[in-house]
Amino acid sequence: MAAKTYSISELARELDVTTRTIRFYEEQGMLAPSRRGQERIYTPKDRVTLKLIMRGKRIGFSLAECKALIELYDPQGDNSNQLTNMLGKITERRMQLDQQLLDIQQMQLELDIAEERCRAALQGKSTGQEEDGSV
């Protein structure tokens, strides 16, 4: 029994991406379907690769990071190197997100202060008090 294969439209529909997205990953050397005339024929391995790319993009990995992790995968071998690299990338991504969260919280505090000063200045204007010009 032959292994299941996929057309570009089947793969796009199944993974909820555009055919242009799939062709882009081909151009980047991340997918290499065989051809039957002009038709692209994707294997289950191509399907898994595309799923890994999409997952990596969802969690914020760059395309280069996704590519490097996928290249480390060996379906018949020990994938501890790939998994170790993945754990390192996850740790890096968590640190970036933690920093972004701190930055967002700091911005929110700055916005709160600016809003408070604006409201106080408006309140002072309505009561006839002088403003000092600082917001």
- The verdict on residue 90 lying in a domain is yes
Give how far Cα 49 sits from Cα of 20, 40, 45, 109, 122, Å. 16, 15, 6, 42, 58
Tell me, yes or no, whether 102 and 46 share the same domain. Answer: no
pLDDT value of position 81: 83
Tell me, yes or no, whether 61 and 96 share the same domain. Answer: no
Tell me, yes or no, whether 66 and 103 share the same domain. Answer: no
pLDDT value of position 3: 80
- The verdict on residue 45 lying in a domain is yes
Written as tens digits, the pLDDT of the chain (135 aa) is 668 999 999 999 999 999 999 999 999 999 999 999 999 999 998 998 999 999 999 999 999 999 888 888 777 778 788 888 889 989 999 999 999 999 999 999 999 999 999 999 999 887 766 555 555
pLDDT value of position 1: 66
- The verdict on residue 3 lying in a domain is yes
Tell me, yes or no, whether 25 and 66 share the same domain. Answer: yes
Where residue 26 sits, what CATH number does that domain have? 1.10.1660.10
- The verdict on residue 33 lying in a domain is yes
Tell me, yes or no, whether 89 and 110 share the same domain. Answer: yes
- The verdict on residue 34 lying in a domain is yes
pLDDT value of position 119: 94
Tell me, yes or no, whether 61 and 105 share the same domain. Answer: no
Give how far Cα 25 sits from Cα of 11, 75, 78, Å. 13, 20, 26
Is 45 within 8 Å of 33 (Cβ atoms)? no
- The verdict on residue 54 lying in a domain is yes
- The verdict on residue 24 lying in a domain is yes
Question: What domain range is 5 assigned to?
Answer: 1-71
Tell me, yes or no, whether 67 and 87 share the same domain. Answer: no
Instruction: Count the domains in the chain.
Output: 2
User: What is the residue-wise DSSP string for 80-129?
Assistant: HHHHHHHHHHHHHHHHHHHHHHHHHHHHHHHHHHHHHHHHHHHHHHHTTP
